[in-house]
Amino acid sequence: MSDILDVDFCRSQFPLLAQTEADAYFESAGGSYVPQQVIQAMSHFMRDSQTQPEWPFAAAKRGKAQIDKAQKGIAALFNINPDELVIGPSTTLNAYVLSHALRPGMADGDAIVVTNQDHEANGGCWRRLADTGIDVREWRIDPKTGDLDPADLTPLLADGKVKLVAFPHVSNIVGSINDVAAITRQAHQAGAMVVVDGVAAVAHTLPDLVALDVDFYMFSFYKLYGPHLAMLYGKKARIDAVANQNHFFHDGNGAAMLNPGGTNYESAGAIGGILDYLDTVHDHHFDTPSNDPRSRAVQVYTLFQQQEATVMARFLAWLEARPEIRLIGRRESDPARRAATFSLDIPGHSPEALAIALAERGLCVGAGHFYGRRCVEALGIDPEIGVLRVSMVHYSTVPEVDRLTNALDALLS
């Protein structure tokens, strides 16, 4: 058994990282690299059973078996039941469909709370309900730190009219980890449901959705080492109560009511490769087997978080020597407090120009508002200019961080 992540082994599972002259990838918050297990799972589905997985013939049965196994595994990973998840094309579309499905259960004058910390996926769809008679209230960030203060939520809930609170587990701009369980309790005590955007969280932390007691939770698999596909979790009772958004004959048919158009079959089969990757990492590090996929994954995530803490600490140490750079979010490397996503406001320097210059040096970062336009603007930053974002996951290394910071030192001198 090893209590230190073998980063070289993990990197060997990712074709884009196994190359001799691989770029240093610091844009995992925009989309993580994909391990060979996911690639193989998608290829297998398309070679073996690329057909509608509904029929009694052999290829269809094989395809359905692969998809069912993948969905059961993903459900177990988050401690939920398979009939409580929807596999849809994107978090943006899943949230949009959900907003339309929940609106008929609200009365004119009911209220929804949104934040200005969110990615627009979990903000815009709810804000649009203002046009239908819903009172939309904004829970605002601290303009200096970017954090959400639960005390500021209290007055928004005080009149008992709020039916739903939408907020992020982690902001893809701020990086701070919100206390989902505490905020959920606060909302439930006021009679409101919660919808949590976990897109920027799930590569860094593995939530137990039952323990958090959330009503709905969303994330995208391509931020979790998988294909461009997304998951929406809903408590069974909540799903059963939505207004059907699918064909009329799906009315009352559980999760199918939230999945118009159905699922991309080959991608749905490929998400099982995420579990295969986590199992491969587990078996490389631990001698004791476990039949529980979540228990195995929790052990692996513990190693992931230790590695992330190491690279975060290295990057933060560099920032200490650059006081002119404004770091958005918490200045700490505790993975229980922040994800390894750092947004930088660097006076006198264009984020886009820096990103281009770094790309020429084989260093991959992002620049802009990253669909968190309201958040960037609330921080006092022109959203047309945005921030320079440096994001890491467990396959990021200290030498890569040093390459990045040395290049930034040269560019900022």
Residues 25 and 52 in one domain: no
Number of domains in the chain: 2
Residue 55: CB atoms within 10 A of its CB come to 12
Residue 103: inside a domain, yes or no? Answer: yes
Q: Is residue 60 part of a domain?
A: yes
The model scores a pTM over 0.95: yes
Beta bridge partners of 231: 87, 219
Q: What is the pLDDT of residues 197-206, one digit of tens each?
A: 999 999 999 9
54 and 23 both lie in a single domain:
no
CA-derived radius of gyration, the chain: 21
Residues 170, 304, single domain; the answer is no
Q: What is the mean pLDDT of residues 150-164?
A: 98
Q: What pLDDT was estimated at residue 26?
A: 98
In a domain, residue 280? The reply is no
What confidence tier does 291 reach under pLDDT thresholds 50, 70, 90? confident
**Token output for 276:** 């295969």
Residues 61, 166, single domain; the answer is yes
Work out whether the CA dihedral 374, 376, 378, 382 comes out positive or negative: negative
Looking at residue 292, what is its pLDDT? 87
**64 and 22 inside one domain:** no
Residue 107: closest CA among 184, 183, 158, 160: 160
For 131-165, give one letter per residue: b (16+ CB within 10 A) or e.
eeebbbbebbbeeebbebeeeebeebbeeebbbbb
Averaged pLDDT score across all residues of the chain? 97
Do 97 and 139 share a domain, yes or no? yes
Rounded average pLDDT over 42-71: 95
- In this structure, which long-range contacts are made by residues 13-21, counting pairs with CB atoms below 8 Å and at least 24 apart in sequence? 13/37, 13/277, 13/280, 13/281, 14/395, 15/39, 17/395, 21/362
381 domain-assigned: yes
**pLDDT value of residue 207:** 98
Do 74 and 138 have their domain in common? yes
The model's pLDDT over 361-405, given as tens digits with 9 standing for 90+, comes to 999 999 999 999 999 999 999 999 999 999 999 999 999 999 999
Residue labelled with tokens 């970017």: 146
* Structural domain boundaries enclosing 328: 7-34+292-412
Q: Which residues does 357 contact at the CB level (< 8 Å), separation at least 6?
A: 407, 411
**19, pLDDT greater than 90:** no
Distance CA(59)–CA(53), nearest Å, equals 8
Q: Per-residue pLDDT averaged across 40-46, rounded?
A: 97
Kindly state whether residue 322 falls inside one of the protein's structural domains: yes
Whether 50 and 195 share a structural domain: yes
Q: Are residues 204 and 60 in the same domain?
A: yes
Q: Is the pLDDT of residue 290 over 90?
A: no
- My answer on whether 315 and 237 are in the same domain is no
* 283: in domain: no
* Spatial distance between the Cα atoms of 346 and 316, rounded to a whole number of angstroms: 15
Which of these, 163, 207, 158, 165, lies nearest to 183 by C-alpha position?
A: 165
211 pLDDT above the threshold of 90: yes
The pLDDT-based confidence of 1 (bands split at 50, 70, 90) is: low
Residues 187 and 18: their CA atoms lie apart, in Å, by: 45
CATH of the domain at 298: 3.90.1150.10
CATH number of the structural domain spanning residue 98: 3.40.640.10
| Contact indicator for 52, 60 with CB cutoff of 8 Å | yes
Query: Is residue 287 assigned to a domain?
Result: no
Mean pLDDT of 94-109: 98
Task: Report the interhelical angle of 272-285 vs 58-77 (nearest 10°).
Answer: 60
Residue 72 neighbours by CB distance under 10 Å: 16
% the chain with pLDDT above 70: 100
Would you place residue 262 in the very low, low, confident or very high pLDDT band (cuts 50, 70, 90)?
Answer: confident
Same domain, 29 and 45: no
CB 223 within 8 A of CB 204: no
Is the pLDDT reported for residue 322 higher than 70?
Answer: yes
**93 pLDDT exceeds 90?**
yes
The more confident residue out of 239 and 287 is: 239
DSSP class of 314: H
Tell me: pLDDT of 210 over 90: yes
The three-point CA angle 202-204-205 to 5° equals 65
* Mean pLDDT within 209-236: 98
β-partners of residue 135 are 111
Instruction: State both tokens at 29.
Output: 């918050």
Provide φ and ψ at 374, rounded to 5°: -65, -40
pLDDT band at 289 (very low <50, low <70, confident <90, very high): confident
- With 0-12 / 13-18 / 19 or more C-beta atoms within 10 angstroms meaning exposed / middle / buried, residue 323 is exposed
Residue 159 lies in a domain: yes
What are the residue ranges of helices labelled H in 360-412? Answer: 373-378, 398-412
Of 174-188, 224-238, 249-263, 280-294, which gets the smallest average pLDDT? 280-294
- Terminal Cα distance for the chain, rounded: 45
Where does a domain end: 240, 273, 306?
273
Residue 123 shares a structural domain with residue 156? yes
Average pLDDT in the 303-311 region?
98
Nearest to 340 by CA among 200, 218, 206, 224: 200
